A and B are shown apart, each in its own frame.
Chain A
Amino acid sequence: MAPSQDPLFAGLGQAMRVGTDLLAALIVGGFLGWLIDSYIFDSTPWGVAIGLVLGLITGIRNAYRAAQRWNT
């Protein structure tokens, strides 16, 4: 990542990224599940449920990977 800039500035930038990354993955997961539910298969609760769980896993994993990068 970008350590050559001012460390405070780069650190603040990285910290700001994590929160929205968590949320955006959840939104995309739920939305994809809803699309599958209402347009492809007629499986109303299951697509959204599985999509939200997958989105949650994705968001946590992305935030974890971003946080691991700070240690190095």
Chain B
Amino acid sequence: MWIVVGVASVFLLKAAGSKSLVPSKMQSMAELLVEFIRGIIQDTMGASGMRYFPLISSLFIFILFSNLLGLIPGSYTVTSQIIVTGVFALGVYALSLVIGFQLHGAKFLGILVPPGTPGWLLPLMIPIELISQLARPISLAVRLFANMTAGHVILGVLFGLTIAGGVLIGWLPFSFTIVLYGLEVGIAFIQAYIFTVLTCVYIGDAIHLH
């Protein structure tokens, strides 16, 4: 984990070090990253969500870098441990609860009642909404963990088949690994993106009640 933090910090510090008007390659990459995160926040939370930009950008950059560094052969993926993703998801969810109760007080419990519910449906709708609220951190944690672990297991199995197959048939699983490696790079980006978008959505739900 410290390696991930170190690499991300060195990349961003080096990119931000030369504040030239015509950006260098690294500077424009960093600017692209910041603009991307800003776009996510604006789309899901509106302008009032920019208060949480530091939190969300550090989450996104940490998850993205740990996913990508885990794809270097021989290295280790931090996000393929469910304890790491679970702590992130629980932290994000607890934060959204704290923000909601701070802004709305006891009225925040109204998040359990969807708008336009007739009165006789309330005994059914409240348990359903309660389950769907409690499912949020679990699905957030399990999604990131499962995608990362499954990808690495598939790559590991295919490499094992390559070695077991020898020269005669081993080229077939090896070509699959090349294709799947490209897919894994895409998944690394997409999972980091989903985690940030859902963080924004949950905090946004807490800010704008209904």
Majority secondary structure of chain A interface residues (helix, strand, loop or mixed) = helix
Inter-chain CA distance A55–B194, complex, in Å, is 23
Contacting pair A61 B139 (CB below 8 A): no
Contacting pair B44 A58 (CB below 8 A): no
Determine the chain B residues whose CB is within 8 A of the CB of A13 once the complex forms.
Answer: 190, 193-194, 197
**Shortest CB–CB separation between residue A48 and chain B, in angstroms?**
14
Q: Range of interface residues on chain A?
A: 20 to 34
Contacting pair B135 A28 (CB below 8 A): yes
Contacting pair A21 B139 (CB below 8 A): yes
- Please tell me if B68 contacts chain A, counting CB pairs below 8 Å: no
- Please tell me if A1 contacts chain B, counting CB pairs below 8 Å: yes
Q: How many residues of B contact A (CB 8 A)?
A: 26
**Shortest CB–CB separation between residue A14 and chain B, in angstroms?**
8
Determine the chain A residues whose CB is within 8 A of the CB of B127 once the complex forms.
Answer: 54
15-47 of chain B: CB within 8 A of chain A:
36, 39-40, 42-44
- Please tell me if A16 contacts chain B, counting CB pairs below 8 Å: yes
With A2-B44, A5-B40, A20-B146: A58-B135 Cβ-Cβ less than 8 Å: yes
With A3-B43, A55-B131, A61-B128: A24-B142 Cβ-Cβ less than 8 Å: yes
Residue ranges of B at the interface with A (Cβ–Cβ < 8 Å):
36, 39-40, 42-44, 127-128, 131-132, 134-136, 138-139, 142-143, 146-147, 189-191, 193-194, 197-198
